[in-house]
Amino acid sequence: YDYGIVLKSTSFDNFLNKNIVCSNSGKTKVDLFCEGGTISSSTTRNLLNTQKGCGLVYGKHYLYCDASWDVQTIHLQKGWNLFSSYLIPKNPDMLAVLQPLIDAGVLIKVQADNGFAVEFLPSPVNRWINEIGDFSPTEGYDIKVSSDVDLIIEGSIAQLPFVIDLNTGWNFIGFPNVMRDGLEVVLPLIDAGILVKVQDEKGNTIEYLPQPINQWINRIGDFYPGEGYKINVKTNSELIIS
């Protein structure tokens, strides 16, 4: 359909009743249903009630939301940074997310905590390769740039709460929240005796210091949107961002 910017699409098969959530305002158009009506931000509607008088047809149907994208600007400094985003990019392919930096000639490398990378391989490959796959709001990514630059990401805001799976040892995590938050983010891990250490891109830490201090010390301060963090845990666990 050609009627504006397609923000999000949700497919569903052979249903009698189906609740659809649209994260942005906009007019809707549904395959084999009536066109029109407005879905309010973060409001759930039942299609059969919203689209009265339009026949239900079995098969595959699609809901489209016609609206603008949310935008997040992430400030990167020359050298290595650890970044994340609270957006689900309109095109989540990591190469697409990073394309503005590639076009500007400032991207050197991006690396995930599993060692997979986005980087340029010289001849005979002679192109950018993406081992990471799709961008995820739960992940933090090490990124190296040749100069100070802004990374602009367009997409839809990730819906909280978000559960981040942690593996034993070090993990790169994102902070998919539009608001900053304090030590409360990792307090459940501290209370459970699981947390070893949290570190930001500058080397500041949250960690337990033994005698004579004998307490947890927070040198990071708050967790900020756009920042990534390294976290070390004693066992496989979950971190909930809400």
Burial class of residue 115, CB neighbours in 10 A (0-12, 13-18, 19+): exposed
What is the pLDDT, as a whole number, of residue 68?
A: 58
Alpha helices for the chain (secondary structure H): 47-50, 94-103, 187-191
Q: Up-side HSE of residue 220: CA atoms within 13 Å toward CB?
A: 25
Handedness of CA 177, 179, 180, 185 (dihedral sign): negative
Quote the Cα angle for 142-220-88, to 5°.
45
Going by pLDDT thresholds of 50, 70 and 90, the confidence category of residue 8 is: very low
The token pair at 41 is 């931000």
For residues 38-61, one letter each, b for 16 or more C-beta atoms within 10 angstroms of the residue's C-beta and e for the rest, the string is ebeeeeebebeebbeeeeeeeeeb
Tens-digit pLDDT profile for residues 200-230: 999 999 999 999 999 999 999 999 999 999 9
Reported residue count of the chain is: 242
Helix, strand, coil distribution of the chain in percent, nearest 5? 10, 50, 45
User: Exposure string (b/e) for 181-220, b if CB count within 10 Å is 16 or more?
Assistant: eeeebbeebeeeebbeebbbbeeebbeeeeeeeeeeeeeb
> If you average pLDDT over residues 82-94, what whole number do you get?
94
d(CA 195, CA 7): 38
Is the CB of residue 4 less than 8 Å from the CB of residue 66? Answer: yes
Would you state the structure tokens that stand for residue 21, as one six-digit string?
Answer: 């959530």
**pTM for this one?**
0.73
Q: What is the mean pLDDT of residues 86-107?
A: 96
For the chain, domain boundaries = 6-66, 70-157, 162-241
**Residue 49 φ/ψ region, left for φ over 0, alpha for ψ in the -120 to 50 degree band, beta for the rest:** alpha
Least confident of 20-29, 43-52, 74-83: 43-52
- For 14, counting Cβ atoms within 10 Å of its Cβ (0-12 exposed, 13-18 middle, 19+ buried), the class is exposed
- For the chain, give the mean pLDDT: 80
